[in-house]
Amino acid sequence: MQAIMETLFDAVYLISVITIGILMIRESKGNPQFRLFGWMAVVLGAGDSFHLIPRAVALCTTGLENFTVALGIGKWITSVTMTVFYVLLYYVWRQRYGIRGQGGLTAVVHILAAARVLLCMMPQNQWLSADAPLSWGIYRNIPFALLGLLIIVLFYRSAKERKDSAFRWMWLTIVLSFAFYIPVVLWADAIPLIGMLMIPKTCAYVWTVLIGYFAMKRECKL
């Protein structure tokens, strides 16, 4: 039952976010903000597919323990593409609110993203092992969490200052995604049931994508 339900959920998620991303790219009418948002959604879905598809195959066949390498590679790729997702979201923020300059802020975003990717590349992560060390799971997520926190603050402040009703909850979707993700990083190996938090985390990302899509549908008609 878990295999069927989880596979269906993941299939709906991947198809939905990638489809919405493609629609945004095609229907953005040259609006750079929404075209970029569309690419961001495609990166999200395509990156997650490297982990979720092998997981679905494993659950529906011989079990997760027989797909350690494929799942490890998928998790590594997803870790990198999620970093790219947040960098793109930063540039969506700049486009939406007409931000110019602030080179120092952009440098911080790039440094945090580079640090995250560099840490993900380190062999100590043991991506291909069934007993990957928790310590490196924490290390590589420190710059990632700081990057997420920065994006949360930027969208919260800008949406509030500009009275941007379309993006007023963008900050909350990111808060929720991290709130559900961090316990999984810390305790899922010891308490497997905590891994179920990845479902509401995924829903938070779908909400993020839908915010951009519905904003495009309204604003590109004006």
User: pLDDT tens for residues 34-58?
Assistant: 999 999 999 999 999 999 999 889 8
User: pLDDT tens for residues 111-120?
Assistant: 999 999 999 9
Q: What percent of the chain has pLDDT over 70?
A: 99
Quick one: pLDDT at residue 200? 92
Q: Which CATH number fits domain 2-219: 1.20.1070, 3.30.70, 2.30.29, 1.10.3470?
A: 1.20.1070
C-alpha closest to that of 96 among 149, 41, 159, 169: 159
- Where do the domains of the chain lie? 2-219
Question: How many whole angstroms separate alpha carbon 47 and alpha carbon 81?
Answer: 5
User: Dihedral sign, CA of 161, 165, 166, 167?
Assistant: positive
Quick one: pLDDT at residue 187? 85
Quick one: pLDDT at residue 154? 97
For residue 222, what pLDDT band results from cuts at 50, 70 and 90?
low
User: pLDDT tens for residues 74-86?
Assistant: 999 999 999 999 9
Residue 12 has pLDDT above 90, yes or no: yes
* Beta-carbon contacts of residue 65 (< 8 Å; ≥ 6 apart): 130
DSSP code at position 31: -
User: pLDDT tens for residues 15-37?
Assistant: 999 999 999 999 988 899 999 99
User: pLDDT tens for residues 95-144?
Assistant: 999 999 999 999 999 999 999 999 999 999 999 988 889 899 999 999 99
> CB of 144 within 8 A of CB of 83?
yes
Tokens of 130: 């069934």
> CB of 216 within 8 A of CB of 22?
no
> CB of 124 within 8 A of CB of 185?
no
Residue 65 has pLDDT above 90, yes or no: no
Q: What are phi and psi of 18, to 5 degrees?
A: -70, -40
Largest CA distance in the chain: 54
For residue 221, what pLDDT band results from cuts at 50, 70 and 90?
low
How far is C-alpha 5 from the chain's CA centre?
22
Name the residue with tokens 């390498």: 69
Quick one: pLDDT at residue 42? 97
DSSP for 132-151 reads --HHHHHHHHHHHHHHHHHH
195, amino acid identity: G
DSSP code at position 197: G
User: pLDDT tens for residues 146-161?
Assistant: 999 999 999 999 999 9
How far is C-alpha 92 from the chain's CA centre?
14
User: Dihedral sign, CA of 147, 166, 91, 26?
Assistant: positive
User: pLDDT tens for residues 183-207?
Assistant: 988 888 778 788 888 899 999 999 9
106 to each of 94, 134, 180, 211, how far by Cα in Å? 10, 30, 27, 24
